[in-house]
Amino acid sequence: MLHASSLHLVFVAVQLSIDSVNREAQHGRLSVMVGNRTEGAMGWLFIGLGSTMLLLATMGRIHPRFARRRRVLTILVASLSLASISVSVVVATHTVITSSDMRWQPSPFNGWKVYLSSPRHINSGGRGECGWEENINGRHFNYNATHTTYGAGGMLKRGYITTVSGNARDDGGWKNVNSANNWGANVYIVTHTNGDNGCPDSAQYLLVMFVDGNWGSTDLRSQLLAKMDPVLPGGQNTWSCIGGPGGQLAYECRDANAPHRVYVEAFFHDNQPSVDLFQTAGWPENNTWRYGWAVDVHLGYP
Amino acid sequence: MNTDRPAVARAFQVLGVCLIVAGTVSVGATTLSSEAQAQNTFPLDKYPGFGRSPDAVLRDDTIAYWEAYGRERLISSCMGESGFEYVPAVAYPEEAMLAVAEGLGVAVSSDPSLESPFDRNRTYEVELTPEEREGFNQALFGESAADVAEVNRTGLLPVGRMDFATGGCVGRVKAGALSVWDLRRELDDELVVMQRSIAESPELAATRAAFRECAQRVAGIAADDPADVDAFVGGGGSEPQAATVLSECERVWAVGYRQSQLTAAAGLVKEHAVAFSELEARYSHDIMATVRNDDEFLAYLSDQVRVTDSPAEALGEAH
């Protein structure tokens, strides 16, 4: 009886995980990390592994050669299958590399459109990252800030139509700006991760850059610093992204015409503890809701 | 026969109960539907660029996408005058573009060899000789190919060059372009002031009191509004308690808030009557008919639906 229950459990788990993976794939979120690269089809490998083991377990039931050790084999296989399936489900919710902007429209819509711009570095993955590559970090952060239901929730739960930009390795930041401008974004938040000397490094702070003389930008900056700093490692920094240190001019700050725009470097991707925190299961869901909180306070809870 | 009579009576009784239940459900559904409809309309909906109901959002996206295509068409024509190829390439969130296409009844292009216009432009530029590539970037942005590549790589403009890439065909077209979002952006500061004043308005006093009572009753939290719930969670308060307040009391807040918002929005239109009239005048012709009759635009849209509908892209395997 024990082995039969285990087999049934494995079968149900496989079904559920396949459904989950399919759903994620349809939404363009299926992927798995291999080193610091993201490969979309790898999630299927784990499902394949689980299914193969399930087949072996079934053979244990029907083939006399396996019959003697049937129970032990079944329990072993069931455990391994469940472990691999768990891995596949976890990775299936991870973020992909894609050139596509994805937009979600809640109902009711509160009248404000938010564009969350992800990094599109052509050399993402080779920028000294300790963990996930920078383009993944940014989009993963943005995706969660949009969808999380923790507390009062992310952007969607608060009524903002939200677009999360593509994160292709194409140096295509201008495409993000043009997309947001054409679409009529009212709020434009760039979210990248910072780098210093490459992994491992000790620098860690939250940086929010703003557009000088633009209240929509400076106040949103203050709100984001106030809400995000308590949950991000290190201290906080802020300076203008149009004429900041060394006269830096970020074109996303100059060219995005959303009145409320800021440029965030959330944490240092070459700082191992910071990376570990971000990659902790549940951290993005339980903390990125603060983006929505900051935007709501800034705009007066529309 | 005698034994059948009670059975028939019972059947009629059951039928009667079913009809009453169905009637009640129907009336309830109608009421809910009207309520939902009322919740889904907004006083600024009729002004292009200010849409909030799903239909008005789709209208605004349609106009915006069409206008963006118009700008790209001008850039393409401008580049052609300089002797270069450039195909219109509209950057726009995918789902919004697909909704526009569906709303216009655009069929998916059947051409299997299509590629994204962004890829086409990139491929074209890569295949030019260095001298031609320099000319291409000068014509498109008024900048050198090396500078454009460096800005793309770093995300930073050259120090002291706030005017970088404001020339060329792109700069010329953008400088003269009108957009459905112009007035919305122009009035942005006032919209924020409006939002903030609503939250602080005395009219919301009763709503606050009701929310406070609800929050206290369902979760024992002292919260006057959703902002207090955010602060409660942000301060380390119990997330499940906050979730209970939001699910049980959100409606209390939404109803009161909406009424104040409607009043404020009407006030905004009154205060900027001239600007809103001009906006209406600009789009007073049947803009949607104009869009529907723009065959070149519809063909472009059809191609984009085709290019977007790529399983490899959806799986993130295209890169």
Question: Over the stretch B186-195, which tens digit does the pLDDT of each residue have?
Answer: 999 999 999 8
- Which residue has better confidence, A34 or A107? A107
For residue B107, the model assigns a pLDDT of 87
Given pLDDT bands bounded at 50, 70 and 90, which one contains residue B43?
Answer: confident
Does B24 fall in a domain? no
Asked if the model's pLDDT at residue A9 lies above 80, the reply is: no
Instruction: Give the per-residue pLDDT at B202.
Output: 80
Residues B135 and B207 grouped into a single domain? no
Residue at B209 is within a domain: yes
Question: Do B199 and B173 fall within a single domain?
Answer: no
Looking at the complex, report in whole angstroms how far the Cα of residue A99 sits from the nearest Cα belonging to chain B: 8
Chain B nearest C-alpha distance from A260 (Å):
9
Residues B166 and B59 in one domain: yes
Percent of chain B with pLDDT strictly greater than 70: 84
Residue A182 has pLDDT above 50, yes or no: yes
* B267 and B136 belong to one structural domain: no
Answer whether residue B10 is part of any domain.
no
CB proximity list for B130: less than 8 A, separation 6 or greater: B145
**A41: nearest CB among B155, B184, B317:** B317
pLDDT of residue B23: 45
pLDDT, position A83: 61
Helices (H), B40-165: 54-81, 94-103, 117-126, 130-141, 145-154
For residue B17, being part of any structural domain is answered with: no
List the single residue in B with minimal CA-CA distance to A97.
Answer: B316
Q: Quick one: average pLDDT of B116-120? A: 95
Instruction: Classify residue B319: in a domain, yes or no.
Output: no
Quote the minimal CA–CA distance from B169 to chain A in Å: 15
The total number of structural domains in chain B stands at: 2
Mean pLDDT of B217-242: 96
Domain that holds residue B242: 188-276
Are residues B298 and B167 part of one domain?
Answer: yes
- 3-state secondary structure labels for all residues of A151-210: CCCCCCCCCCEEEECCCCCCCCHHHHHHHHHHHCCCEEEEEEEECCCCCCCCCCEEEEEE
- Per the model's pLDDT, the better-predicted residue between A34 and B212 turns out to be B212
Q: Residue B42: its pLDDT value, please?
A: 84
- Using CA coordinates, name the residue in chain B closest to A174: B152
> Do B244 and B289 fall within a single domain?
no
Q: Kindly state whether residues B56 and B119 are assigned to the same domain.
A: yes
Query: Is residue A78 within 8 Å of residue A11, measured between CB atoms?
Result: no
Q: Give the ranges where chain B is alpha helix by DSSP (H).
A: 4-39, 54-81, 94-103, 117-126, 130-141, 145-154, 168-175, 182-186, 188-200, 205-219, 226-234, 239-271, 273-282, 287-292, 295-308, 311-314
Q: B199 or B212: whose pLDDT is higher? A: B212
A162 pLDDT higher than 50: yes
Chain A: give the shortest CA distance to residue B23, in Å.
28
ipTM confidence: 0.86
Residue B307 within a domain: yes
Q: Does the pLDDT at position B252 exceed 80?
A: yes
**Are B316 and A302 within 8 A, CB to CB?**
no
Integer Cα distance of A122 and A171 in angstroms:
5
Compute φ and ψ for B107, nearest 5 degrees: -85, 155
Q: Do A26 and B314 touch (CB under 8 A)?
A: yes
Q: Quick one: B168 and B306 in the same domain?
A: yes
DSSP state of A231: G
Domain assignment present for B32: no
- Same-domain pairing of B134 and B200: no
Instruction: Kindly tell me if the per-residue pLDDT of A69 is higher than 70.
Output: no
pLDDT of residue B27 exceeding 50, the answer is no
Q: What is the mean pLDDT of residues B206-224?
A: 96
Q: Indicate the range of A47-56, B97-106, B125-134 predicted with least confidence.
A: A47-56
Residue A24's pLDDT is 41
Q: Residues B174, B192: one domain?
A: no
Q: Which residue in A37, A116, A249 has the most chain B C-beta atoms within 10 A of its own C-beta, making it the best mutation to test that interface?
A: A249
Q: How many CB pairs under 8 A join A and B?
A: 184
B156 in any annotated domain: yes
